[in-house]
Structure formats: C-alpha cells, structure tokens
C-alpha cells in the first residue's frame, strides 16, 4: 500500500518548526525596532506641533463677550515671527515676516509678567507702532479717528490721553473694557513678549470657530493731538489665560 510517509519533511506548506527562544528573539528585535520608530515619529510630531501652535484656557472675563472663562484656544506661535534675510543678496531686505505682521483687531497672547511667576494675558491689538492712541468719551481714538466697536461689552468709562505707540510695541485692550488689565493700565506690550495670535477656539464645541481679527469702524474725526500718558497705575496682575500642558 502506498503512503505519504516522509513527505512532510519536504512539504513546502508545512509549518516551519523553530525553537521558541529563536522565535521570541526575532519577534523581540522587530517589535523593539518598530516601537522605537513610533516613539521617534511621535516626538518629532510633538515638537513640530508645539513649535507652531499652543493651546490655552481662558481664565477670567477681561475679553467678554468675545471670549469667556474656561474656553479653550489654539495660539499660532509662528505669527509675527521675523526672519533675518540680510545675508541673502537677491532678497533686498533684512527682515521678512512670512506669517504676517500684527494687525489692528488681532487677538494675541502675551507675557504680562515673568516674576514671581509667568502670567499670560489675552487682549486685542488696538494700536500699532507709530499710531497715536487715545481713549476718550467712551471711544477708542486712533490717529484722531474715533471707532465704533461692536465687539466690546460696554464703552470704556476711563480716559487715556493720546500717546504714540513706540517702535516694537503694541497697544492692546480687553473687550471687557471696564474690567481688563491692559495697556491703559500696564503700558504698551513689547513685541518680544507676544506668544502668538489666537487663531482658533475649539472648546466648547458649540462655540468652536476660526478667529478672524475684528476691528471697529470709524465714526468721527476728533483732531486729538498726540501727547503722553501718565505712568500706569500700580496693580496686581492676574492670569487671564493658562497654558494646557
């Protein structure tokens, strides 16, 4: 009687039998390599994302009604970054801002103080370098033009004498004008202290949206001459945004 005895040893479909130690060793090397690749890729992505964007939580009511306490924001850290291209002969300029320059109406995060601990504020840009800013009779006045601002909670009940924004500085105000520690109290903001521009609100979901810079519309000519402001009042700074780490 014919049988298939002995054919199993040369059957190409028969499973290969190897020692358990050898199987585990090969699997371990392959698994370790794949795990290291995933970890390296995750670290690269994390660093890249953190270099471009950062998330913050609003802490306080200084930007009501535009932003409310507890809302979560994404900040573009590359906004306003300046590259020095003076070494490139064909460019013809030393400084380049590939991601845009500050504009009136942009909402920004900046470092309000560093000691005894760092505190970040969220405000709206009102005045740019070279512009003369004044707050009078319940309105913001820029270069002698008063503006109607539909995004504020109420007209400001204080006076801020006309002052020209120096180079490298910004004049910022909170949308909740009468409950905000901003440039009318703490002075101009140095561009070097700006963390980035608020580009997205992602929480709560019902309020999620891309943030577009919003500024008022001119309503009158005031003819207010440039001047200087008194030294800002001393007051305790409170955090208005908190980074989610």
Higher pLDDT, 25 or 191: 191
Let me know the angle formed at the C-alpha of 60 by 183 and 236, rounded to the nearest 5 degrees: 50
What total of structural domains would you count in the chain?
1
Instruction: State the pLDDT at residue 15.
Output: 60
pLDDT digits (tens, 9 = 90+) for 17-48: 666 555 555 556 666 667 667 676 666 655 55
pLDDT digits (tens, 9 = 90+) for 203-244: 999 999 999 889 999 996 554 444 444 444 434 445 577 776
Query: For the chain, percent helix, then strand, then coil, each to nearest 5?
Result: 20, 30, 50
Q: Is residue 38 part of a domain?
A: no
Give the chain's mean pLDDT: 80
3-state secondary structure of 99: coil
**CATH number of the domain encompassing residue 64:** 2.10.109.10
pLDDT digits (tens, 9 = 90+) for 80-120: 987 776 666 655 556 677 778 999 999 999 998 887 888 89
| Containing structural domain, residue 163 | 54-243
Residues with catalytic function:
62, 123
Q: Is residue 97 part of a domain?
A: yes
Instruction: State the pLDDT at residue 230.
Output: 40
Q: Is residue 36 part of a domain?
A: no
Phi, psi for 42 (deg, rounded to 5): -65, -40
Instruction: State the pLDDT at residue 183.
Output: 97
């Amino acid at each position: 009687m014919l049988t298939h005895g002995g054919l199993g040893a040369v059957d190409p479909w028969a499973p290969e039998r190897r020692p358990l130690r050898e199987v585990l060793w090969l699997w371990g090397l392959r698994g370790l390599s794949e795990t290291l690749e995933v970890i390296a890729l995750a670290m690269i992505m994390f660093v890249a994302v953190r270099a471009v964007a950062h998330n913050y939580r609003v802490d306080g009511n200084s930007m009501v009604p535009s932003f409310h306490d507890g809302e979560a924001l994404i900040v573009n850290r590359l906004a306003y970054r300046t590259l020095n291209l003076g070494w490139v002969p064909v460019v013809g300029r030393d400084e380049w801002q590939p991601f845009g320059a500050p504009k009136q109406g942009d909402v920004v995060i900046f470092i309000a103080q560093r000691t005894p601990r760092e505190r970040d504020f969220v405000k709206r840009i009102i005045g740019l370098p070279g512009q003369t800013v004044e707050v009078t009779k319940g309105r913001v006045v820029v270069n002698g033009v008063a503006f109607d601002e539909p995004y504020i909670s109420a007209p400001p009940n204080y006076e801020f004498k006309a002052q020209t924004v120096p180079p490298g500085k910004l004049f910022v105000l909170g949308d909740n004008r009468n409950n905000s520690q901003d440039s009318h109290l703490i002075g101009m903001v140095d561009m070097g202290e700006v963390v980035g521009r608020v580009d997205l609100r992602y929480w709560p979901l019902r309020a999620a949206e891309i943030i577009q810079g919003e500024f008022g519309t001119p309503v009158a000519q005031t003819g207010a001459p440039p001047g200087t402001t008194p030294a800002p009042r001393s007051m305790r700074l409170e955090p208005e945004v908190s980074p989610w780490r």
